[in-house]
Chain A
């Protein structure tokens, strides 16, 4: 008996190791259906460094709008990891394995607290880990949702402690968890919902006024902590609302929810693109898929639940979250900024916790051993895809129609460390772009990956220290969208393509013949092979760079012009004007498509421009700050910063005074200023700065210190509590 008591607690860890960890210990980066992580040490550095920059460099060669740095605590951790020389793969696997263990451990601790039964808590925690949502998110590579699943039970436990004791340390702990969980932006909705569920379950007639007061205090405290920790980027988003917030509409919410059904939500199944668990579930066993929801509600039939009625209530409140939102999705879709929710099925993270809590509760009140065994068998069957080895192994196309194919499995991929190749080292300081690019990208050779929504290559280019890509989606800035659509039109001819990229300062196009864009781009592959030089043999990886197309005389980052053209034609029509890259053409004005979206397109003809072009000398101070020395000034001129237009870019004189020169859109994408120097002024030094970065850099240390102080305080409190 003693032996059994010792074995039972270690069994779950063995199970976790066998099902989740061992298969992923083989070499390679874990890549999911549509997301992945940095692979090499340098990629991890690029990812980590992003925590310190607010100028987004994700979408096009020269960067774009203000980035949402909600991930920055994770990125700082990644930067520290990279700093000690470890690779991205090790970072990804370590954090993923800890996350999986965390899902089990934190839910187990919560269930023990609420049910006072270790056996019931083990089964409940295992059902939480072996749930369809873990299966699907692991396969799609959405590790941040998994991390949220690990932190949610901890949040509930601290929330319950708070309503019991009402200590300020609980508010700080809850605030800290909420701030960290912001890596998954939906947590800003998920956690308040969970907190309200806790409040409702814990409130009685006797403690009503106290509970309301506690709720209000905690809400203010948590909100304040989240704001302090994320103020550096949140403030800038408020000042410059960007396209991610304004372009995706409420339609998105409904679109993602169209394939859902309330019956699937109740068995924790379903979401638009994440149906791996469902497709892997044996049809003959489908009645068992409803076992968890049935088991989780039966507790009152076996016991009076007098002491555990509040737990039962909490469980029910958590369970109905996803169905409630689904039923009211039309209404929710009309709420401003509801786009942050994206997809109703994501609320299963809360429902899933409720169902597992219900399972633990039911088992804690059922005394009949045979009935307990039957319940465990039903639960094992309901999680059968895990135990049938379908977590990482695809066994044929489960749906016969190719268009319905939605089954991805996480895989281990070797991505060549191209940043270490001598050839890439020689172009390391240049501006390079990966081809094919735009939209999602998948491999051409591997049929397992030869499907839409396969975005690994694209995401990988986001982490690359060698080159960037164009990540074009409905969330892209409208200028970037316009740029990407022009690229798609021009990609059928390599000469046009090099001209196009040359205008925007790209020195090299890196072609990977093993990859294909999901956008119907007619990339001139033959032209690339003729025009560009061979780079590396493809080898075993579709990610290898096979050709390098050098673009001679690409426009510099900063240049000037005194002969602008005024046109409302599209860039593709204007292309002949740009063919000679030695002549730096500047076009002011916008095609009709852009005019609808931007006031910066309304440009009037500039009079009194200088007759001779001034001489520039450029010094790069940082990625977002440049000193421009201008000599031989003979009058008005246009100063171009060849980075995506953003009102946050400002121009200052040598004394640091902001110059009020008209900020214009150049070549349908980049920044320009009509510089009007003082009379008889022959030379001047200007500073071009991305001003939001200045604010960000000043606020970030305050947030980091606050974050650190709260961690230290909580550690100290926890130590004191343990000693006490």
Chain B
């Protein structure tokens, strides 16, 4: 179970390519039965792919932190996009554990994440998330 000793752990996923075909696949998945609203654009929440997925995979795989996926709730999410993300961009992504608090049998894990273009270090996405881990039992 995560605890305060894990605050400050960072998970880095450099060299994430904004693949046009992956962005199009996500746009289609968001559109579902409807036509894609903005063909060729990178959906803002494509951050799930270039930022959350590769860094969260490391967090969830960190046996010392020991997050149980079966009891995990993604409770809050915020994003800022200081600059638009373009197809073909390559970004370096990181997620850091910024706080861990235990209350009422639940553990609240706060995360901060950032993606910057590898070429010029321009931040294209910055975010925070709150994950709630319910205790087994």
Partners in one complex: no
